[in-house]
Chain A
């Protein structure tokens, strides 16, 4: 069974197959519906666009008073903190103000922003959070991967053994089949590269090309350098293969900044990095 729905600002596709003892078609349909419901919940909790999402409540109020959030939002923030520290601050979700300034996220009533990074997020008991500065978080670099992982977990809990969840290019496969994985060429979209085969793992790809535009006469994209806050405008694509999609998704944002596949944290997370440059001939892989 293969289904697709518009969620998380993209198309989420779920393909699920039964076990050897064949779970009934009705049960398979229920499993896929439940997996979509998990993705929809992540969308509602972590959307920058929805004014009532956990994320918008944090961005509006956490600099003034502690804000309690859903356990899944708290789980994403814990993973974001782990990735922030492991990458020496290169994975930084505190880019909401920067992306709004570039017109890549809607301007909200968050009040005047302050400079700061993810270290301004204070973790309090009971899934409550406070900000030490008026930062704005954007979970666009990690929530999609988290949603894919949740969908896979739901499918597994429903007895599904072979499945694929693809959220607009960030995907995870489950099961005993090694699946061929293609990567779309960043500048020649009709070209797909057969990158390898993947079993029980995830791959995510980011490219500045997807959000490339001109802001005040300068090129911009939604991928930012954590240190300079300047947009990355390289016509390449950055892919990371990892055991979970949340790690794969987040590490693509780091790979786009460092442009090298041998950073020690890739191995620490069990990940492989891969860069497809604009020119189709010169490829780096590790």
Chain B
């Protein structure tokens, strides 16, 4: 291990990051990653039927400071195959619940990442909860029941 601290200096380096966007997957990339080799037929808004059985769903959740899109692969028997975060957008000082703020992220994919402080990573901090995503997954599974 080699640790070179900067904070020992009297003036620490502060960076203000009002908004930050991380793109992990486009819809097509997430489909290929969760169901390799399968083909997909639209079965409604953000729902696809998978050729090998099951469903692929894209869902969004809005937290206090974050707006997250994620993909769920659902097996033919209704169980969760895989969950992948597609985009993670966080904001401080903007209103995450504001539709026009969120609109700037629509249509962005991994090949056209946003340049909002995209170079700032490796952030240590008190643990962020993913409860809104786990709740979202439960909601999606419930809505697919009986399909």
B63 nearest CB across to chain A (Å): 11
The stretch of B42-50, B99-107, B126-134 in contact with A is B126-134
In the assembled complex, which residues on chain B have CB atoms less than 8 Å from the CB atom of A178? 2, 4
Mask of B1-41 contacts with A, CB within 8 angstroms, 1/0:
11111111000111111100010100000000100000000
Closest residue of chain A to B125 (Cβ to Cβ) is A184
Whether A272 and B5, one on each chain, are in contact in the complex, defined by CB atoms closer than 8 angstroms, is yes
Interface of B toward A, CB cutoff 8 Å: 1-8, 12-18, 22, 24, 33, 65, 70, 83-85, 88, 92-93, 120-131, 133-134, 137
**Given A29-B33, A199-B1, A243-B1, A3 and B14 contact (CB-CB distance below 8 Å):** no
Select A169's contact among B33, B88, B128, B130, beta carbons within 8 Å.
B128
For the complex formed, measure the closest distance between the CB of A99 and the CB atoms of chain B, giving whole angstroms.
Answer: 14
Segment of A125-133, A155-163, A203-211 engaged in the interface with chain B: A203-211
Q: Are the C-beta atoms of A189 and B65 separated by less than 8 Å?
A: yes
A-B pair count, CB < 8 Å, reads: 164
Q: Are B1's CB and A200's CB within 8 A? A: yes
Determine chain A's interface SS by DSSP, over half rule: strand
Closest CB in chain A relative to B76 CB, distance in Å: 21
Contacts of A164 in B (CB 8 A): 121-122
Determine if A194 and B123 form an interchain contact, defined as CB atoms under 8 angstroms apart.
no
* Contact in complex: A183, B124 (CB < 8 Å): yes
Q: Is A18 an interface residue (CB 8 A)?
A: no
Is there an interface contact between A4 and B88, defined as CB atoms closer than 8 Å? Answer: yes
The residue from A4, A9, A195 contacting B5, defined by CB atoms under 8 A apart: A195
A-side contacts of B124, CB under 8 Å: 169-171, 181-184, 195, 203-205, 239
Contact of B84 among A5, A144, A204 (CB under 8 A): A5
Take A11-B130, A207-B125 as given contacts and tell me if A274 and B1 are in contact as well, using a CB distance cutoff of 8 Å.
Answer: no
A199 to B5, CA, bound (A): 12
| A191 and B5 contacting across the interface, CB-CB below 8 Å | no
Which chain B residues border A280 with CB–CB below 8 Å?
14
Cβ of A168 within 8 Å of any chain B Cβ, yes or no, is yes
Q: Counting CB contacts under 8 A, is A201 at the interface?
A: yes
Q: Is A215 an interface residue (CB 8 A)?
A: no
A183 B123 Cβ-Cβ under 8 A: yes
Query: Given that A9-B127, A189-B65, A209-B126 are known contacts, is A201 also in contact with B3, CB under 8 Å in the complex?
Result: yes
A199 to B131, CA, bound (A): 32
A179 at the binding interface (Cβ < 8 Å): yes
Asked if A113 is at the interface (CB within 8 A of a chain B CB), the reply is no
Chain B residues in 8 Å Cβ range of A4 = 22, 24, 84-85, 88
A270→B2 CA distance, assembly (Å): 11
Q: Output the nearest chain B residue to A197 by Cβ-Cβ distance.
A: B4
Question: Would B15 and A237 count as touching, CB distance under 8 A?
Answer: no
* A191 adjacent to B131 (CB under 8 Å): no
B83–A5 touching, CB < 8 Å: yes
- Give the distance in Å from the alpha carbon of A164 to the alpha carbon of B18 in the complex: 24
Whether A218 sits at the interface, judged by CB under 8 Å, is no
Q: Which residue of A lies closest to B23 (CB)?
A: A2
A-B contact pairs, 11 of them (CB 8 A): A10-B129, A168-B127, A169-B126, A180-B122, A193-B14, A195-B7, A197-B6, A199-B1, A272-B5, A283-B7, A285-B8
Q: Give the distance in Å from the alpha carbon of A78 to the alpha carbon of B2 in the complex.
A: 26
CB distance from A122 to the nearest CB of B (A): 30
Which 10 pairs between the two chains have the least Cβ-Cβ distance? A184-B125, A210-B126, A190-B92, A201-B1, A207-B126, A4-B85, A194-B13, A6-B130, A196-B5, A169-B125
The answer to whether A179 and B122 touch across the interface, beta carbons within 8 angstroms, is yes
In the complex, A3 Cα to B70 Cα: how many Å?
A: 11
B126 near A196 with CB under 8 A, answer: no
CB closest residue in chain B, given A32: B33
Judge whether A192 and B120 touch: CB under 8 Å: yes
